[in-house]
Chains A and B, each alone.
Chain A
């Protein structure tokens, strides 16, 4: 009982020596993991209701990314361009990069798409043409080695201004959907992120 005063320090770390900040962050991380979400109902639905606010908060290009499998959603603002690739960042410190409308990298999602070659898909979508092409998606494995998956793809016109992409390889296959506006821009797409996160829904808001 006389050791009662020690209880608070057994549950916390404080100080400024190397590593202390990290340990503090670890404890915060664990605590957050056990903190229930304050949002009632679907988080995706809640974020969709915030679209007008998100648009009002920035004049920059904006996308909304939904992870239906985990009921997660967030807004991403254009942060940087590098050649054909545009990277968008979120306030939750995640990022997603596109080659045209095609997702080619993510960070902060977990099991991230480290990089990808979109092949001729951006050009085909821009021209609203069907076609066949090769793509590559790359991930890290548990030992930080890059795993590249080449996939053979086929883009076909679908219903109501959509284009559907079928990709396959001995290791994975997926079906992406790109919904085009009358001006020919992809406004909404459902794209394969990877085996862990499955499909993402990407809404181009501006």
Chain B
């Protein structure tokens, strides 16, 4: 059984066509495996860098959906969820009308580029871990013969070596390692191998014909009596409905008809480049004679702070504090709107330039969140005036990004204590329950926040489900680990409505480069306790190091105030690193909720427009048997900024968590307001990356 429960703000349906790249080469097509290829056979071609493809394909008794990401120019990864006729899946008599679903992962690497005389060559692994139902390995070459025709030839193992094999490289077993989910390294490139090949012809810019000689014998389907494979030749027609959608029709095995839909997104291509949000207020400039007049500093003019607050509010920013001297101003502000921090800095700096007395030349802008001064950027007002119509890079050279721990901390009079509330819809999803691959809850969340001081808050949320079926997710508490997560459906059943969280949190800047947080209360639906975190992260460093320690007790299923008997000390040491090529790595090593010890590894490809596509895996000392199906915790995450979809400034994002199994091993506490995500956008690496939006 496979159960996954994930929490998402909104489940973005990637299966819907969205405006996308026009980059995709019209000759490229996605195969039924969801990867670049012919019909069933792979090719050596690569999709455009960062392209994200969702495919739905199938024929009688065989349904496949896949998500393929071109991780880099040469390297792709695929997550697939395939449904097989029960007779095929189990190799024992079953219900041929019932599909059994199986997850699988592929990777591929183009190791040789095509030249005028040489084909491109790639190596790849299909279904490289777990049950291996679709597992194969290949080395393939593809050459563009003419502008409209390409040919492919390759050699394959596993399924791709199962028909008309020409040799063998050892013995290939079909044993699943541990409880599945573990790379079957011993099987790779082992056993029989065979040739495969084919060609594609572009009949028009939108229509492509493909023919392939398949070396996959489909032995499982044939022996189950579900497939009559009359020929190794498959034929297909791909029709492009636009740059984002492909429709395909296949003649398979001489006996079947298949079809496929392919949807493409490229995070590098914006729906509206630069966004369509409103223009900033232009900088009005100063009268030269006013620049030297500092009388106002002796006889303060009322209303400056109010004017600045109104100017900031026009851009969706909030004034948190202002300190003025004759020639320098320090602004503390919060940014709930722009996901590119340079745009928030640019808007705030313009507001200062248009509202502060003319003698004020130096602006310190400090973005704050939960009272934490995240960083400080310093700009000269005369530079703002001089560079407003220059390229952003000219201004970027004049901006200093420094730590804000020791900066002045002005606070707007009467701002605290404050009270806030909100009512909003929520969507929560769960994937990969074999009985129901997608489960979904839709409901309402009511939130309230009291801020006694600038850096403390008491926050709570209550949820009520309107409809959905997440609570019906079967509970599997097998294994020796305490059920720290697998009972979650009971919280949805008994705790509806329920208190999602209710906690006190305090944030601080103990010293330069150091950030801190203490949280106490009902931290998440399943646990209450205390959590403390300290993070070292210089503003100009790509490396951050953090420590988080928690002592928590499991909550009652009714999600009210009661607690169960299980308590645990859990915590992690974390390292965060932002590589300069857009990749992000994170390692969290420590003790998990079930008391197991290990580490979580996360790698994301990040884009300055807010997109993130990544994967994580957790390895602990819990045995594969105790963990259950999948052997260890792992998942894929796609984060799509709302601003990218709508083409206008928004800080919210849609998160798709494809987490195959939410088991009890490698389970982390969910703590609100973790430090690193709050400050990431406001440190130098991300500011530099998105600085093009400073003048937007």
Instruction: Report the bound CA distance from A85 to B464 in whole Å.
Output: 55
Nearest residue (CB) in B for A15 is: B422
A144→B608 contact, CB < 8 A: yes
A6→B464 contact, CB < 8 A: yes
Instruction: Report the bound CA distance from A95 to B276 in whole Å.
Output: 12
A111→B282 contact, CB < 8 A: no
Contact flag A148-B391 (CB < 8 Å), given A10-B442, A115-B695:
yes
For chain A, the count of residues having a C-beta within 8 Å of the partner chain is 54
B268: chain A residues at CB < 8 Å are 141-143
For chain B, the count of residues having a C-beta within 8 Å of the partner chain is 64
Instruction: Report the bound CA distance from A7 to B425 in whole Å.
Output: 10
Task: Tell whether B274 is near chain A: CB-to-CB under 8 Å.
Answer: yes
Nearest-neighbour CB distance to chain B for A138, whole angstroms, equals 6
B282→A140 contact, CB < 8 A: no
B608: chain A residues at CB < 8 Å are 143-145
Instruction: Report the bound CA distance from A19 to B388 in whole Å.
Output: 29
Task: Tell whether A39 is near chain B: CB-to-CB under 8 Å.
Answer: no
A110→B336 contact, CB < 8 A: no
Task: Tell whether B647 is near chain A: CB-to-CB under 8 Å.
Answer: yes
Annotate A68-110 by CB proximity to B: 1 below 8 A, 0 otherwise. Answer: 0000000000011110010101000111010000001111111
B692: chain A residues at CB < 8 Å are 114, 140, 144-146
Contact flag A144-B279 (CB < 8 Å), given A3-B466, A20-B422:
no
A82: chain B residues at CB < 8 Å are 282-283, 285, 385, 388-389
Instruction: Report the bound CA distance from A13 to B445 in whole Å.
Output: 10
Task: Tell whether B579 is near chain A: CB-to-CB under 8 Å.
Answer: no
Task: Tell whether B467 is near chain A: CB-to-CB under 8 Å.
Answer: yes
Instruction: Report the bound CA distance from A3 to B496 in whole Å.
Output: 12
B186: chain A residues at CB < 8 Å are none
Contact flag A110-B392 (CB < 8 Å), given A17-B422, A93-B278:
no
B273→A108 contact, CB < 8 A: no
Nearest residue (CB) in B for A13 is: B424
> Which among B272, B274, B391, B692 has the greatest number of chain A C-beta atoms within 10 A?
B274
Task: Tell whether B299 is near chain A: CB-to-CB under 8 Å.
Answer: no
A106: chain B residues at CB < 8 Å are 279
Q: Which of A13, A16, A146 contacts B425 (CB 8 A)?
A: A13
Task: Tell whether A26 is near chain B: CB-to-CB under 8 Å.
Answer: yes
Nearest-neighbour CB distance to chain B for A114, whole angstroms, equals 6
Contact flag A20-B392 (CB < 8 Å), given A144-B690, A196-B273:
no
Nearest-neighbour CB distance to chain B for A154, whole angstroms, equals 24
Task: Tell whether A60 is near chain B: CB-to-CB under 8 Å.
Answer: no
Instruction: Report the bound CA distance from A196 to B337 in whole Å.
Output: 25
Contact flag A108-B389 (CB < 8 Å), given A17-B420, A26-B642, A143-B268:
no
Task: Tell whether A11 is near chain B: CB-to-CB under 8 Å.
Answer: yes
Annotate B404-423 by CB proximity to A: 1 below 8 A, 0 otherwise. Answer: 00000000000000001111
Task: Tell whether B393 is near chain A: CB-to-CB under 8 Å.
Answer: yes
B336→A81 contact, CB < 8 A: no
Q: Which residues from 41 to 71 on chain A have a C-beta closer than 8 Å to any C-beta of chain B?
A: none
B389→A115 contact, CB < 8 A: yes
Q: Which of A22, A81, A107, A146 contacts B393 (CB 8 A)?
A: A146
Number of A-B contacts (CB under 8 A): 167
Q: Which residues from 129 to 162 on chain A have a C-beta closer than 8 Å to any C-beta of chain B?
A: 138-146, 148
A85: chain B residues at CB < 8 Å are 388-389
Nearest-neighbour CB distance to chain B for A21, whole angstroms, equals 7
Contact flag A16-B421 (CB < 8 Å), given A6-B443, A110-B647:
yes
Annotate B22-63 by CB proximity to A: 1 below 8 A, 0 otherwise. Answer: 000000000000000000000000000000000000000000
Contact flag A9-B444 (CB < 8 Å), given A23-B424, A111-B274, A114-B695:
yes
Q: Which of A6, A104, A109, A142 contacts B269 (CB 8 A)?
A: A142
Annotate A171-196 by CB proximity to B: 1 below 8 A, 0 otherwise. Answer: 00000000000000000000000001
Nearest-neighbour CB distance to chain B for A69, whole angstroms, equals 15
Nearest residue (CB) in B for A20 is: B422
Instruction: Report the bound CA distance from A87 to B280 in whole Å.
Output: 11
A142: chain B residues at CB < 8 Å are 266-270, 273, 609
Contact flag A108-B276 (CB < 8 Å), given A6-B443, A115-B390:
yes
Q: Which of A19, A107, A141 contacts B273 (CB 8 A)?
A: A141
B542: chain A residues at CB < 8 Å are none
Nearest residue (CB) in B for A110 is: B276
Q: Which of A22, A109, A140, A144 contacts B651 (CB 8 A)?
A: A22
Q: Which of A11, A18, A81 contacts B420 (CB 8 A)?
A: A18
Task: Tell whether B684 is near chain A: CB-to-CB under 8 Å.
Answer: no
Task: Tell whether A127 is near chain B: CB-to-CB under 8 Å.
Answer: no
Contact flag A19-B420 (CB < 8 Å), given A9-B425, A107-B279, A110-B276:
no
B425: chain A residues at CB < 8 Å are 9-11, 13
Q: Which residues from 661 to 696 on chain B have a C-beta closer than 8 Å to any C-beta of chain A?
A: 689-693, 695-696
A30: chain B residues at CB < 8 Å are 646
Contact flag A10-B466 (CB < 8 Å), given A18-B334, A196-B273:
yes
Q: Which residues from 237 to 289 on chain B have a C-beta closer than 8 Å to any C-beta of chain A?
A: 266-270, 272-285
> Which among B279, B391, B443 has the greatest number of chain A C-beta atoms within 10 A?
B279
Nearest residue (CB) in A for B607 is: A143
> Which among A104, A141, A142, A146 has the greatest number of chain B C-beta atoms within 10 A?
A142
Nearest-neighbour CB distance to chain A for B313, whole angstroms, equals 10
A14→B277 contact, CB < 8 A: no
Task: Tell whether B585 is near chain A: CB-to-CB under 8 Å.
Answer: no
Instruction: Report the bound CA distance from A105 to B279 in whole Å.
Output: 11
Contact flag A107-B280 (CB < 8 Å), given A141-B273, A146-B391:
yes
Task: Tell whether B603 is near chain A: CB-to-CB under 8 Å.
Answer: no
Task: Tell whether B650 is near chain A: CB-to-CB under 8 Å.
Answer: yes
Annotate A18-42 by CB proximity to B: 1 below 8 A, 0 otherwise. Answer: 1111110110011000000000000
B423: chain A residues at CB < 8 Å are 9, 13-15
Nearest-neighbour CB distance to chain A for B298, whole angstroms, equals 29
Annotate B221-246 by CB proximity to A: 1 below 8 A, 0 otherwise. Answer: 00000000000000000000000000
Instruction: Report the bound CA distance from A16 to B692 in whole Å.
Output: 31
Nearest residue (CB) in B for A87 is: B282
B466→A6 contact, CB < 8 A: yes
Instruction: Report the bound CA distance from A196 to B652 in whole Å.
Output: 26
A97: chain B residues at CB < 8 Å are 282, 389
Instruction: Report the bound CA distance from A111 to B272 in whole Å.
Output: 6
Task: Tell whether B328 is near chain A: CB-to-CB under 8 Å.
Answer: no
Instruction: Report the bound CA distance from A126 to B283 in whole Å.
Output: 26
Instruction: Report the bound CA distance from A107 to B272 in whole Å.
Output: 12
Give me 19 A-to-B residue pairs in the complex whose CB atoms sit less than 8 angstroms apart, sorted by A's number.
A7-B466, A9-B425, A14-B422, A18-B420, A26-B642, A29-B646, A82-B282, A89-B279, A93-B278, A97-B389, A104-B389, A108-B276, A110-B647, A111-B274, A114-B695, A140-B274, A140-B696, A141-B270, A142-B268
Residues of B within 8 A of A (CB): 266-270, 272-285, 316, 334, 336-337, 340, 342, 385, 388-393, 420-425, 442-444, 447-449, 464, 466-467, 607-609, 642, 646-648, 650-652, 689-693, 695-696
Residues of A within 8 A of B (CB): 3, 6-7, 9-11, 13-23, 25-26, 29-30, 79-82, 85, 87, 89, 93-95, 97, 104-112, 114-115, 138-146, 148, 196
Beyond known contacts A14-B423, A141-B273, A142-B266: 16 more, CB 8 A cutoff? A10-B425, A10-B444, A15-B423, A22-B336, A22-B652, A25-B650, A26-B642, A80-B282, A80-B285, A94-B279, A110-B274, A141-B268, A142-B270, A144-B342, A144-B692, A146-B391
